[in-house]
């Protein structure tokens, strides 16, 4: 199935570039989304099975693959709308890049070894760069080069971490860097090598996770990327970065460096919260503000992983819920720009009057992303705070709560201004555009799932999350 998926994906991308027909492109792209959903269903049925030697339907991988499948059709649909006025060449390049990006992310989710995972993560950089540069503006070109340069530097650092993993084998054959073989010999390794490897891997893959200290690359990319692309960068691509770090963390968790890894993750998470809170207070670009919100959520994921215990469950559940909520907000940003013709905060206002359906998405999305009950994210943050209390990490708890208060204030005041206030630059406001309310259906659906998961988490979801945690200490 994995082989058929990869071959079919690249054939579909090639056909789109060869057959310069808009209708055929739409059909092929939607067929890819259906094929991706089929791959996720196949993964649920064949959990823990290995195919092509290098790909395993691991619980965590299948969970995140399913999230990508859930977002596939809405992302493609909103992409069709965003690119509807583009010439056929740009339209085809955009959809080909979307297919290739989703294919590379799927490969990263299912990879069962460090080298294969590294290759697919690096490959996502090229696909995302094409999408960031879609509008062909000067700012887009600058952001694209920044993304390629910083991501390549980060991936190079991750590669150094992989080299240190090879030292675990000593003078023997170090070609096999599968997660299974590494976990079997991890307790025989020099702890210093493990610490260095983890630091390089974490810093390197944080370019994809959007975590401090390599968070700047995703912030700039969001400012210029098409909103549907931002929805993927801020959710499923960040999940790829987390998974790469989490795989190494899981392997190393049985060794003596577990406390060291936990401290590094908590420190990185706290610094991410600090940066997000500070910059969100001065953010004047709406997509940039949402990018800092993603940085804040990834900081919470890192803290949850670092506290251990129930924090592992909270981290994975937070990834799922954040993907649903944040993608909805980015989809809505695409509609907001068509109504207000801007992403600048000072030019926004009266959105509730101009587009009530979209305004309701922003209001519900604000509640969900800020973890205000009945948002499912409230459960995850409660579990994180409970873990910090249990571990008696009072300083981390107090500082995290204070920083989150700043985030709540910054986002809520800006959203209220968009919804109800008059634009600060009233004279520059152009005639509002028109958007069909039916375009908000997917956003209400995702936000509804976030709220439902606050009260009820279905057994199949709980079981799949726990399957990815069996190798971690309690």
Residue 191 has phi, psi (to 5 degrees) of: -55, -30
Measured CA to CA in angstroms, residue 333 lies from 136, 353, 358 at distances of: 20, 16, 9
Distance of CA 88 to the CA centre of its chain: 29
Mean pLDDT throughout 114-129? 89
CA–CA dist 259, 16 (Å, integer): 50
Q: Which residues contact 256 (CB under 8 A, 6 or more apart)?
A: 191
Q: Is residue 159 predicted with pLDDT exceeding 60?
A: yes
* Domain membership flag for residue 151: no
* Domain membership flag for residue 382: yes
Q: What is the pLDDT of residue 428?
A: 56
Mean pLDDT throughout 159-182? 67
Listed ranges 14-18, 35-39, 110-114; the one with the highest mean pLDDT = 35-39
What pLDDT band is residue 170 in, cutting at 50, 70 and 90?
A: low
Q: For the ranges 15-24, 30-39, 316-325, which has the lowest average pLDDT?
A: 15-24
pLDDT above 90: percentage of residues in the chain: 54
What pLDDT band is residue 171 in, cutting at 50, 70 and 90?
A: very low
In contact, 65 and 110? CB cutoff 8 Å: yes
Mean pLDDT throughout 87-109? 93
CA–CA dist 51, 235 (Å, integer): 26
Mean pLDDT throughout 136-144? 85
* CA torsion through residues 80, 230, 75, 443, sign: negative
Report the number of distinct structural domains present in the chain. 1
Q: Is residue 366 predicted with pLDDT exceeding 90?
A: yes
Mean pLDDT throughout 363-372? 94
- Give Rg (Cα) of the chain: 21
CA–CA dist 106, 421 (Å, integer): 42
Total-model pTM: 0.92
Q: Is residue 28 predicted with pLDDT exceeding 60?
A: yes
* Domain membership flag for residue 287: yes
User: Does 221 or 396 have the greater pLDDT score?
Assistant: 396
In contact, 397 and 385? CB cutoff 8 Å: yes
Helix 22-45 and helix 2-18, axial crossing angle in degrees, nearest 10: 170
Q: Is residue 162 predicted with pLDDT exceeding 90?
A: no
CA angle, corner 471, sides to 465 and 472, nearest 5?
80
Provide the domain limits for residue 287.
Answer: 259-474
Number of Cβ within 10 Å of residue 226's Cβ equals 23
CA–CA dist 69, 106 (Å, integer): 9
In contact, 303 and 396? CB cutoff 8 Å: yes
Per residue in 232-275, pLDDT (tens digit) is 988 999 999 999 999 989 888 888 889 999 999 999 999 999 99
Per residue in 216-233, pLDDT (tens digit) is 777 878 778 899 999 998
Mean pLDDT of the chain: 88
Per residue in 315-348, pLDDT (tens digit) is 999 999 999 999 999 999 999 989 888 888 888 8
* Domain membership flag for residue 455: yes
Half-sphere exposure of 404 (CA within 13 A, CB side): 21
User: Where is 51: in which H helix or E strand?
Assistant: strand 50-51
Q: Is residue 157 predicted with pLDDT exceeding 80?
A: yes
* Domain membership flag for residue 166: no
Q: For the ranges 75-79, 86-90, 168-172, which has the lowest average pLDDT?
A: 168-172
* Domain membership flag for residue 20: no
* Domain membership flag for residue 212: no
* Domain membership flag for residue 321: yes
Q: Is residue 172 predicted with pLDDT exceeding 60?
A: no
């Amino acid at each position: 199935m994995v082989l058929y998926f990869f071959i079919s994906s690249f054939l579909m991308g090639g056909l789109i570039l060869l057959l310069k027909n808009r209708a055929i492109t739409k059909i092929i792209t939607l067929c890819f989304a259906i094929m991706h959903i089929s791959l996720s269903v196949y993964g649920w049925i064949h959990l823990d099975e290995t195919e092509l030697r290098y790909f395993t339907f691991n619980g965590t991988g299948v969970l995140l693959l399913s999230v990508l499948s859930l977002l596939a059709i809405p992302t493609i649909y909103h992409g069709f709308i965003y690119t509807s006025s583009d010439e056929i060449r740009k339209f085809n390049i955009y959809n080909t890049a979307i297919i290739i990006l989703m294919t590379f992310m799927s490969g990263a989710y299912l990879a069962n070894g460090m080298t294969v995972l590294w290759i697919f993560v690096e490959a996502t950089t090229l696909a995302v760069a094409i999408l960031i540069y879609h509008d062909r503006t000067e700012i887009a070109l600058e952001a694209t080069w920044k993304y390629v340069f910083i991501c390549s530097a980060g991936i190079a650092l991750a590669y150094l971490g992989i080299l240190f993993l090879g030292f675990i084998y000593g003078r023997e054959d170090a070609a096999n860097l599968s997660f299974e073989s590494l976990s079997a010999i991890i307790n025989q390794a020099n702890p210093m090598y493990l610490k260095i490897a983890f630091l390089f891997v974490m810093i390197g893959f944080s370019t994809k996770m959007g975590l401090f200290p390599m968070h700047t690359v995703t912030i700039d990319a969001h400012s210029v990327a098409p909103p549907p692309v931002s929805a993927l960068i801020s959710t499923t691509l960040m999940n790829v970065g987390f998974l790469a770090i989490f795989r190494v963390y899981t392997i190393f968790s049985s060794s003596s460096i577990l406390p060291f890894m936990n401290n590094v993750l908590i420190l990185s998470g706290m610094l991410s919260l600090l940066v997000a809170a500070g910059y969100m207070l001065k953010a004047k670009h709406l997509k940039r503000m949402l990018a800092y919100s993603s940085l804040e959520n990834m900081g919470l994921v890192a803290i949850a992983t670092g506290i251990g215990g129930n924090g592992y469950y909270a981290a994975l559940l937070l990834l799922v819920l954040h993907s649903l909520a944040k993608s909805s907000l980015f989809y809505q940003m695409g509609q907001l720009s068509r109504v207000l013709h801007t992403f600048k905060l000072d030019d926004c206002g009266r959105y509730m009057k101009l587009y009530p359906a979209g305004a309701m998405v922003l209001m519900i999305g604000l509640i969900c992303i800020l973890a205000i009950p009945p948002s499912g994210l409230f459960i995850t943050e409660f579990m994180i705070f409970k873990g910090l209390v249990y571990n008696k990490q009072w300083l981390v708890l107090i500082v995290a709560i204070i920083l989150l208060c700043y985030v709540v204030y910054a986002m809520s005041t800006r959203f209220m201004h968009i919804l109800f206030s008059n634009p600060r630059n009233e004279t520059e406001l152009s005639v509002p555009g028109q958007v069909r309310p039916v375009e908000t259906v997917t956003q209400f659906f995702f936000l509804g799932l976030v709220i439902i998961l606050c009260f009820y988490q279905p057994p199949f979801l709980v079981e799949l999350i726990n399957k990815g945690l069996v190798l971690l200490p309690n």
